[in-house]
């Protein structure tokens, strides 16, 4: 059974030969191919090679195409991105709407692919290459920043939160613009056959409250996911964020995300009950600390791995994972982490296949 077949079974709610391994590899892919993150983020061939060669090195069951995963859409709207000649990760370097006393998005134009030299087309080209090279062997997703996180980058977090409480109508106006880009970009990515990961780390608890998530995240994520599902039969879109996702599980079900991230402290029994009662096929991705993997803290990883193995025992809709793998993580460390996860799954009754 190859990785694609394995993940298809999981998303269908059926038992795979073993629990899939799905680490978060973005900038680390640049290290795998020996280039800087800034180089890989501005070259479609290098971005694709980073994803493909990482898959060949680690054999993970779902690969993601993307390097600076929060920057591409925000940059297309006008956020400056600072790049580096060293191994630093590209970063947003200013908020175009941040200087306004009162938020006004009326003059903000929704960018088209390639307009003004943006990189929207670059990640589409990279995704197309990855699908052509390994799409018959493993599941492929592309990365994009979500509507809420794009809006935060345009305005700046502190001002944006103040706007939510003081001038919510202006926030909704801005979110209409970022959602329009998200829908069009997600559909263009889906047209080449990849799934779409919509990243919303700025919407993570405790940065915002559940009420803000309900009113300013859920309605817009639903539009993106529904637009893709109505037109494409690609792997279903996923909303990716950290924090205690069990608190928001009913919202994730409403959004209809295909996957939710959960760390070892999350209340799995509560999440499983809610997912099952809703008749949802949502997959839970157990998430371990990538910094522990980078430094080889195997003793520190043993307990959370065992905890997740116990919590996920008997679940068909579970995959192993970790947060964003740091750039300089030794290759042998990530391979050892993979072996620890798969071994723990076997001890809890998983297949040895």
Q: 244-259, pLDDT tens digit by residue?
A: 999 999 999 999 999 9
CA 252-145-328 angle, 5° bins: 105
Q: What is the pLDDT of residues 293-340, one digit of tens each?
A: 999 999 999 999 999 999 999 999 999 999 999 999 999 999 999 999
Select from 256, 154, 150 the least CA-distant residue to 203: 150
Give the largest Cα separation in the chain, rounded: 60
346 band by pLDDT with thresholds 50, 70 and 90: confident
Q: What is the pLDDT of residues 142-182, one digit of tens each?
A: 999 999 999 999 999 999 999 999 999 999 999 999 999 99
Q: What is the pLDDT of residues 74-93, one digit of tens each?
A: 999 999 999 999 999 999 99
- Token digits for 226? 């529904």
> Quick check: 260 and 249 in contact, CB under 8 A?
yes
Residue 264 has pLDDT above 60, yes or no: yes
- Token digits for 301? 């990883």
The confidence score (pLDDT) of residue 352 equals 37
Q: What is the pLDDT of residues 188-232, one digit of tens each?
A: 999 999 999 999 999 999 999 999 999 999 999 999 999 999 999
The confidence score (pLDDT) of residue 243 equals 87
Domain residue limits, the chain: 3-347
Positive or negative, the Cα torsion across 53, 56, 57, 61? positive
Q: Does domain 3-347 have CATH number 3.20.20.210?
A: yes
The model's pTM: 0.95
Residue 4, CA atoms < 13 Å, CB-side half-sphere: 14
Q: What is the pLDDT of residues 15-37, one digit of tens each?
A: 999 999 999 999 999 999 999 99
Residue 271 has pLDDT above 50, yes or no: yes
């Amino acid at each position: 059974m190859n990785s694609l077949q394995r993940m298809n079974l999981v998303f269908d709610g059926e038992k795979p030969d073993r629990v899939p391994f799905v680490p978060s590899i973005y900038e680390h892919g640049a290290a795998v191919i020996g280039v800087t993150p800034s180089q890989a983020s501005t070259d479609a061939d290098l971005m694709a090679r980073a994803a493909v060669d990482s898959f060949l090195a680690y054999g993970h069951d779902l690969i993601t195409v993307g390097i600076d995963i929060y920057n591409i859409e925000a940059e297309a709207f006008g956020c400056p991105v600072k790049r580096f000649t060293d191994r630093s990760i590209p970063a947003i370097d200013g908020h175009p709407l941040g200087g306004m006393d009162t938020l006004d998005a009326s003059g903000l134009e929704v960018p088209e692919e390639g307009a003004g030299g943006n990189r929207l087309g670059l990640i589409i080209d990279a995704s197309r290459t990855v699908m052509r090279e390994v799409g018959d062997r493993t599941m492929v997703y592309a990365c994009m920043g979500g509507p809420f996180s794009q809006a935060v980058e345009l305005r700046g977090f502190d001002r944006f939160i103040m706007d939510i409480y003081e001038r919510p109508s202006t926030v909704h106006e801005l979110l209409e613009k970022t959602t329009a880009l998200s829908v069009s970009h997600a559909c263009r990515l889906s047209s080449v056959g990849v799934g779409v990961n919509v990243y919303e780390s700025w919407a993570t608890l405790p940065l915002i409250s559940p009420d803000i998530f309900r009113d300013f995240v859920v309605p817009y994520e639903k539009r993106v996911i529904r637009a893709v599902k109505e037109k494409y039969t690609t792997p279903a879109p996923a909303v990716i964020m950290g924090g205690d996702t069990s608190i928001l599980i009913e919202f994730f079900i409403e959004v209809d995300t295909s996957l939710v991230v959960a760390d070892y402290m999350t209340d799995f029994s509560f999440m499983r009950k809610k997912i099952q009662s809703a008749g949802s096929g949502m997959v839970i991705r157990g998430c371990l600390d990538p910094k522990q993997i980078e430094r080889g803290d195997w003793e520190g990883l043993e307990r959370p791995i065992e905890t997740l193995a116990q919590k996920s025992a008997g679940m068909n809709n579970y995959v192993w994972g970790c947060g964003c793998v740091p750039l300089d993580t030794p290759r042998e460390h990530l391979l050892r982490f993979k072996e620890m996860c798969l071994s723990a799954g076997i001890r809890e009754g998983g297949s040895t296949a």
